[in-house]
Chains A and B, each alone.
Chain A
Amino acid sequence: MRKHSCKIEAIEVEKVFSADSEDEVHALGPLNLQVQDGEFVCLVGPSGCGKSTFLRIVAGLLNPTTGRVDIGINPENPTPISMVFQDYGIYPWKTVEGNIRFGLEISGISKSRTKEVADHWLERMDLTAFASSYPDTLSGGMRQRVAIARALAVEPEILLMDEPFAALDAQLRQLLQDELLTIWQKEQRTVLFVTHSLEEAIVLGDRVIVMSSRPGKIVLDQKVPFERPRSPELRAQSDFNEFKNELWLCLKGEVEHYLERVNSVEGKIGSNNEG
């Protein structure tokens, strides 16, 4: 096996979706990206630019159409990669505890150890009182904590997070961001984190990657200049906002491009309706 200098290396990755060869969607790339071991990388970009698609390729749920992604893992780890999905993906037929245990059960870890780990995460995510509730009876924030606990409980080397906090209110979002930072700073996993919020990307990431509108390519790959450990107060600093504006200028162009396309489609629909 080739020795990897980095944890994740994407080389000329492209993804084209085609139901039939007639209407193809060029969703992603070509994209080149290197992520070092233990790095926290945030991906931002306009809607539909292929962020989720890229994460799914890394997770092994999709294959690239061209190019490759190499991932260096410890072969003894039963669950080297885990993912927190955009829409939670937790199971309505499992209790909170059952959901958290899920990844552990899949990897065949002993019952007693599973129980221990699950209890730990229940407590850490403040869900102990709801251990035997079904997700249907939980709030959105609680469900998201279940999804995060489920992904972290298996101690993955690489954690893929697809807009995990998007559906949460500002306070809860900040709370979970801080919790994630604490966990990450303690355990130093490699994280690929997709978000629509630049602020979130800067608070959490070592690097922020701005992607173009579809097909998503990297238009900016910027190291975040703030020291760790970062405190929540960082958000109020003036250089934080300066950095954020700098990124926004770059992202703005792409979002405008995206909006133009949406509007032109709407224009077409409008004119069709008239005609």
Chain B
Amino acid sequence: MKGEAQTDRDLLSRVPTLADTNPRKYNKRRRLIETFLAVGVPGSLIALWQLGFHYEWIDNRFYASPWEIVSSKKLREAELWSEIWTSVQRMLKGFFAGSLLGVLLGVLMGVSRLLRAALDSLLTALYTVPKLALIPVFVTLFGFGDLPRIALIAVTVFFFVWISTMSAIMGVEDGYREAALSFGANKWQIFRHVLFPGALPQIFVGLRIAAGVAVLMLIGVELVLASDGLGALIEKGRTLFLPELTYVGIAISALLGLTFTYLVRILGRVLVPWAPEDQTPNQN
């Protein structure tokens, strides 16, 4: 090492890289690489999976190959799409109800010490109760329709959004609040101009997590408590010994989760323009 250093001059040079001289080209290249990775990594895993079937490393009585899933007749049946639509509707209703309540209560508890004192430990205790264990209670409360399913999703989403909203509101720096107070802002103005925008990036982190959780919960609820929807499809595949059906269901729910989380992220980017999303420094 030492010998090498001597051949070099003791000179540390800071020179422009492609990112500096031609940012457009650099960004294009970077995006290309990122897209390649985003598609390539799952792509090769799927290819490996398919190969596993081809060489019979995997038992095709119990498992379905990617090709079987994609070429499944099931995918061309209108029935499947109506199942998906049923599920998506449940998930969206549950997600919106849950996040609305979560943001609302999170905000209220974030600004009010008294409310925090009154509800914090109660909600934290409820938070840890496995929601699927509540199915009998929800059925008794909401009957046998879609309502108990939606309510279960909503409750699960609620807790994630509530916690992140509350801590986000409490975490807004005091200096920002004081600046508003010094201009004579009232409570509502402080909320509108300071607390809410200040908390928004963190609230969106919560919403993104909740979006994934909504899909988890959706499938879980439908597995146990539905005769239609993706979860029921997966369950039907198991009971009728049709792995293809099960795997079609699983693949679609994965895609659903991906799409939904992505949509929430896009929404966050639109609503929080001051916080650049990708803050990793450029490393060459």
Q: Which B residue's beta carbon lies closest to that of A78? A: B184
CA of A107 to CA of B200 in the docked complex: distance in angstroms? Answer: 24
Is the Cβ of B178 less than 8 Å from the Cβ of A102? Answer: no
Residues of A within 8 A of B189 (CB): 105-106
Chain B contacts with A in 175-224, Cβ cutoff 8 A? 175-176, 178-185, 189, 193-194, 197-198, 200
* CB neighbours of A87 from chain B (8 A): 175
Interface stretch of the complex, out of A36-44, A88-96, A227-235: A88-96
- Determine if B178 and A89 form an interchain contact, defined as CB atoms under 8 angstroms apart: yes
Q: Quick check: is B62 within 8 A (CB to CB) of the other chain? A: no
Q: Which of A87, A93, A102 has the most CB of B within 10 A?
A: A93
Task: Write out the residue numbers on chain A whose beta carbons fall within 8 Å of the beta carbon of B55.
Answer: none
Instruction: Tell me the chain B residues, 235-275 only, with Cβ under 8 Å from chain A.
Output: 272-275
* Most chain B CB inside 10 Å of its own CB: which residue of A82, A87, A90, A91: A91
Contact, CB under 8 Å: A89 / B179: yes
The reply to whether B178 and A107 contact each other, CB–CB distance below 8 Å, is no
Q: Write out, one digit per residue, whether chain A residues 74-99 have a CB within 8 A of any chain B CB (1) or not (0).
A: 00001101110101011111100000
Interface size on A, residues (CB 8 A): 26
| Given known contacts A91-B194, A91-B197, A93-B197, A81 and B182 CB-to-CB distance under 8 angstroms | yes
Find out whether the CB atom of B180 lies under 8 angstroms from the CB atom of A106: yes
Is A136's beta carbon under 8 Å from chain B?
Answer: yes
A79 to B182, CA, bound (A): 9
Residue of A79, A85, A92 near B184 (CB, 8 A) is A79
Closest to A156 in B: B183
Which of B181, B183, B198, B276 is within 8 Å of A102, CB to CB? B183
Contact of B179 among A83, A93, A105 (CB under 8 A): A83
Residues of B within 8 A of A85 (CB): 175, 178-179
Write out the residue numbers on chain B whose beta carbons fall within 8 Å of the beta carbon of A203: none
In the complex, are the beta carbons of A82 and B183 less than 8 A apart?
A: yes
A1 at the interface (CB under 8 A from B): no
B196 to chain A, nearest CB (A): 9
Q: Tell me the residues in window 88-125 of chain A with beta carbons closer than 8 Å to chain B beta carbons.
A: 89-94, 102-103, 105-107
Known interface pairs A89-B176, A91-B176, A106-B189. Does A82 touch B194 (Cβ–Cβ under 8 Å)?
no
| Shortest CB distance A236–B (Å) | 36
Taking the closest CB of chain A, its distance from the CB of B273, in whole angstroms, is 8
Do B181 and A61 have beta carbons less than 8 Å apart? yes
CA of A271 to CA of B222, assembled, Å: 66
Give every chain B residue within 8 A of A105 (Cβ-Cβ).
Answer: 189, 193
- CB within 8 Å for A106 and B274 given contacts A85-B175, A89-B176: no
**Given the complex of chains A and B, what is the CA–CA distance between A160 and B198 in angstroms?**
25
Interface centre among B180, B181, B182 (most CB of A within 10 A): B182
| Chain B contacts for A107, CB-based, 8 A | 183-184
Give complex CA distance A61, B182 in Å: 7
Docked CA distance A59–B180 (Å): 11
A106 touches B184 (CB 8 A): yes
Q: A204-245: which have CB < 8 Å to B?
A: none
Q: Does A60 contact B (CB under 8 A)?
A: yes
The residue that A134 contacts in the complex, of B176, B193, B198, B274, with Cβ under 8 A, is: B274
Q: How far is the CA of A143 from the CA of B135 in the complex (A)?
A: 54
Q: A93-B200, A134-B274 are in contact. Are A61 and B178 (CB under 8 A)?
A: yes
Which of A81, A102, A106, A136: most chain B Cβ within 10 A? Answer: A106
Residues from 115 to 137 in B contacting A, C-beta threshold 8 Å: none
Give complex CA distance A225, B237 in Å: 93
Q: 8 Å CB contacts to B: which residues of A139-154?
A: 154
Query: Measured between alpha carbons, how far is A59 from B183 in the docked complex, in Å?
Result: 9
Q: Which of A59, A83, A103, A136 contacts B274 (CB 8 A)?
A: A136
Give B275 Cβ to nearest chain A Cβ, in Å.
8
**CB-CB nearest in chain B for A77:** B184
* Contact A82 to B193, CB < 8 A, known contacts A91-B176, A93-B198, A136-B274: no
Known: A81-B182, A93-B275. 16 other contacts (CB 8 A): A59-B182, A61-B182, A79-B183, A89-B175, A89-B178, A89-B179, A91-B193, A92-B274, A93-B198, A102-B180, A103-B183, A106-B180, A106-B193, A107-B183, A136-B274, A160-B182
7 A-B contact pairs sorted by A residue (CB < 8 Å): A89-B176, A90-B179, A91-B179, A91-B193, A91-B194, A103-B183, A136-B276
Leading 8 A-B pairs by shortest Cβ distance: A89-B179, A93-B197, A83-B182, A103-B183, A134-B274, A93-B274, A106-B183, A106-B185
